[in-house]
Amino acid sequence: MARSPDVLDNTPWWVPGVTTGGAAGLVVTRCSAYEERHGAGPRHLEGGFYDLASLGPHIWTCQARADGRYVMAHSAGDCQGGREHKGQPQWLCNGHVEMIRKRGSGVCPPCVHPPEERALQEAMERIRIDPANYQADVIEREKTQQKAVSKLWDIQASLDELVRRGIVHRCPLTLTEVS
């Protein structure tokens, strides 16, 4: 039976100005740093490169009041590949704004995982989980695994070529308030 994940509070109380409430009677928007969208789970896993199983046993939450609406983006002029990327606006507390600006905005997921790279990664995963690589006959399994390793090295060379050509690259993102 699958164990349900632990829900843990990661509200950045240590950052000055992080609060949970507003004036009496006011509706308060909460920080959505760990928000789940449309039942698909957090969208923060490398822009969808990793699935929800990669989250581990915990679901993180933030109980703080949102202090603004922000978007992560970079312009075409700031991108090695000349592409513009803009994330979805989300409500954040001052604490998460500080945390993201300090260490969460160093890499643009669409630039580091473009479609060409994701297709190669998916091909590698299909080879790794291929049942033929785990058959009972030792001699046949060894031959199949040797072929699989050779294919994996070919795909790795293709990944290296994407990096060399600048298709896979690292671009910093800027967190900007939009409201």
Report pLDDT digits (tens) over 47-100.
666 666 666 777 778 888 888 999 888 888 888 878 888 888 888 988 889 888
Are residues 84 and 138 both part of a single domain?
A: no
* In-domain check, residue 1: no
Are residues 52 and 90 both part of a single domain?
A: yes
Are residues 64 and 129 both part of a single domain?
A: no
Range of the domain at 150: 115-164
* In-domain check, residue 110: no
Are residues 71 and 128 both part of a single domain?
A: no
Determine the pLDDT at residue 14.
74
Are residues 139 and 67 both part of a single domain?
A: no
Are residues 155 and 100 both part of a single domain?
A: no
- Phi and psi dihedrals of 59, rounded to 5? -115, 125
SS3 178: coil
Which of 43, 23, 21 has the alpha carbon at shortest distance from 31? 21
Number of other CB atoms surrounding residue 43 within 10 Å: 16
Structural domain count of the chain = 2
Are residues 120 and 58 both part of a single domain?
A: no
Q: What is the pTM assigned to this prediction?
A: 0.68
Are residues 24 and 86 both part of a single domain?
A: yes
Q: What is the mean pLDDT of residues 9-20?
A: 75
Are residues 28 and 98 both part of a single domain?
A: yes
Are residues 80 and 45 both part of a single domain?
A: yes
